[in-house]
Amino acid sequence: MNYIEHIGKYFLMLGQVFKRPQKMRIFKEALIRELDDLGNKSLGIAAFIAFFVGGVVAIQTALNVDNPMIPRYLIGFATKRSIILEFAPTFISVILAGKVGSFITSSIGTMRVTEQIDALEVMGINSLNLLVLPKIIATVFFYPFIITISMFLGILGGYVAGVLTGLFSTTDYIEGVQLDFNPYFIKYAIIKTMVFAFVIATIPSYHGYYVKGGALEVGRASTQAVVWTSVVIIVLNYFLTQMLLG
Amino acid sequence: MIEVKNIHKSFGETHVLKGISAKFEKGQTSLIIGQSGSGKTVFIKTLLGLFQPDEGCICYDGVDYDKMSGDEKRELRKQIGMVFQGSALFDSSTVEENVMFPLKMFTEQTREQMLERVNFVLKRVDLVNANHKYPAELSGGMQKRVAIARAIVMNPKYLFCDEPNSGLDPKTAILIDNLIQEITDEYNITTVINTHDMNSVMEIGEKIIFLKNGVKEWEGTNKDIFITNNKAVTDFVYSSNLFKKVRKIYQMEAEGRTCD
């Protein structure tokens, strides 16, 4: 199957996904489960990575800014900007694409190869709507929350790195963080995150839903899903940056 | 009653079903038998509407499935129960949640009413004290019982079973066969079973359809199958020594002789 066919099939899938849920009670139960599986359980890894990478960004900036003409508060300023604009929304989304994407593909793919999806279809249930829509809603509305926490922890990680290494003073760092704060950048990061969250929920679902074969094929589909989700996130990041900041 | 007329189905270059016609009567257990790769699963999935036939029609109680509206198809599906080869239970749900799922999806019953119905069908399939277990904690036979319970919880008019005995020991397989037969008689439903298990043929085969390479090769009852001269059928049935002996007994009975 060529790429054009895959893209067409992906959009046809979305057509089935965005239909009114057949039973609200079941949809709500599925949504709560997905919020826990895809959102809550991703919070820990995102927080951990954000904190340490924030520290690394601050240390790298401090080590590379050794010109006495450049004020030291720029370390805090550069750390804040890079975390809010790129690191939190894009880097964390790529990490979530790996963690959550493989989970989504393997869980839906296993349902496919063990005929659980066929069982839903025989009952007359729109399986795409039941399985994928709660995932989209859970990720699109929960990931901005994860990314906001990541921003805070990334900047905090930079502060802690300054305290521990003594490469820059915490006063300079805080001054830099507070300097020229633009609320639009937060909005920009949230918009990007919501788009990436949609990609993280739908591309792995597509790979899982249309998998054919057995366990090996489910594993292969998971790998492919993570690769394609990451590629699409990186490409969309380019266009979104141009559109929203250009 | 389900009537199938001249069904054809291909996947790419592979022509899997080649003009199959058959009738499945109400209150009767019909068996589709044949070797692996003969098209049994594709046939049953086509009957269920999971595959769209390339040619031919499937009529449920005289109404062409293809000509039904979306709502009519959804209504029909509520009347269909299916037991899959691997049971197809939802891994992340308990036995109780699995069986309750169709009720939650299609009825407005309260939780107490649903629980009462679930307990009733679980008792009917002889599975008690397993409500809160997950499929992974059950044996193959117990999983099949849960799958049957889920299939009958909505009081279906039609019951389809794809290899209900696969992976089960002979004793459990017979129990599952008998359970399906009893349920068919009790609820007067149209049951279609896909199998290659000759024990099932002997136990519950009121009507048998033999498929070979996607063609209906033979049709008859479980008595006829042991005396037929159709070579494809005899090759399949008498591939084991046990059934060679069974055939001898049937032939002797037909000739009025008794065996030692």
Asked if A124's CB is within 8 angstroms of B84's CB, the reply is no
Asked if A124's CB is within 8 angstroms of B74's CB, the reply is yes
Distance, in Å, from the CA atom of A111 to the CA atom of A120, rounded to the nearest integer, reads: 10
For the record, the structure tokens of A65 come out as 């800014």
Burial tier of B238 (Cβ tally within 10 Å: 0-12, 13-18, 19+): middle
Low-confidence residues of chain B: pLDDT under 70: 258-260
Give me the tens of pLDDT residue by residue for chain A, a chain 246 residues long: 688 999 999 999 999 999 999 889 899 999 999 999 999 999 999 999 999 999 999 999 999 887 888 888 999 999 999 999 999 999 999 999 999 999 999 999 999 999 999 999 988 899 999 999 999 999 999 999 999 999 999 999 999 998 898 888 889 999 999 998 899 999 999 999 999 999 999 999 999 999 999 999 999 999 999 999 999 999 999 999 999 987
Alpha-carbon distance A60 to nearest alpha carbon in chain B (angstroms): 45
Is the CB of A36 inside 8 Å of chain B's CB atoms? no
The partner residue sitting opposite A123, judged by closest CB among B45, B91, B102, is: B102
Is the CB of B71 inside 8 Å of chain A's CB atoms? no
A38 occurs within a structural domain:
no
Alpha-carbon distance A114 to nearest alpha carbon in chain B (angstroms): 6
Rounded to whole angstroms, what are the CA distances from A55 to A107, A156, A168, A174, A175?
35, 8, 12, 14, 17
Rounded to whole angstroms, what are the CA distances from A185 to A84, A93, A175, B18?
7, 17, 18, 63
Residues of the domain holding A131? 47-241
Asked if B90's CB is within 8 angstroms of A118's CB, the reply is no
Is the CB of A126 inside 8 Å of chain B's CB atoms? no
pLDDT value of position A127: 94
Which residue on chain B is closest to A22 by alpha carbon?
B105
**Which pLDDT tens digit goes with each residue over A108-157?**
999 999 999 999 998 889 999 999 999 999 999 999 999 999 999 999 99
A104 occurs within a structural domain:
yes
A36 occurs within a structural domain:
no
Give Dmax over CA atoms of chain B in angstroms. 62
A146: helix, strand or coil: helix
Structural domains in chain A (count): 1
The partner residue sitting opposite B105, judged by closest CB among A110, A118, A123, is: A123
- A9: Cβ contacts below 8 Å, ≥ 6 apart: A1, A206, A210
B30: helix, strand or coil: strand
Tell me which residue of B208, B196, B134 sits closest to B165, measured CA to CA.
B196
A15 occurs within a structural domain:
no
Task: Write out chain B residues lying below 8 Å of A110, CB-based.
Answer: 91
A1 occurs within a structural domain:
no
Contact between A39 and A146 under an 8 Å Cβ cutoff? The reply is: yes
**Which pLDDT tens digit goes with each residue over B33-83?**
988 888 998 999 999 888 999 999 999 998 999 889 888 888 888 899 999
A12 occurs within a structural domain:
no
* Global ipTM: 0.84
Where are the strands (E) in B25-145, listed by range? 29-33, 55-60, 63-64, 80-83
pLDDT value of position A1: 65
Alpha-carbon distance A149 to nearest alpha carbon in chain B (angstroms): 30
Contact between B237 and B243 under an 8 Å Cβ cutoff? The reply is: yes
pLDDT value of position A30: 94
Instruction: Name residue B2's beta-bridge partners.
Output: B24, B60
Q: Domains of chain B by range and CATH? A: 1-79+156-226 (3.40.50.300), 90-155 (no CATH)
The partner residue sitting opposite A122, judged by closest CB among B77, B90, B104, is: B77
Distance, in Å, from the CA atom of A110 to the CA atom of A121, rounded to the nearest integer, reads: 15
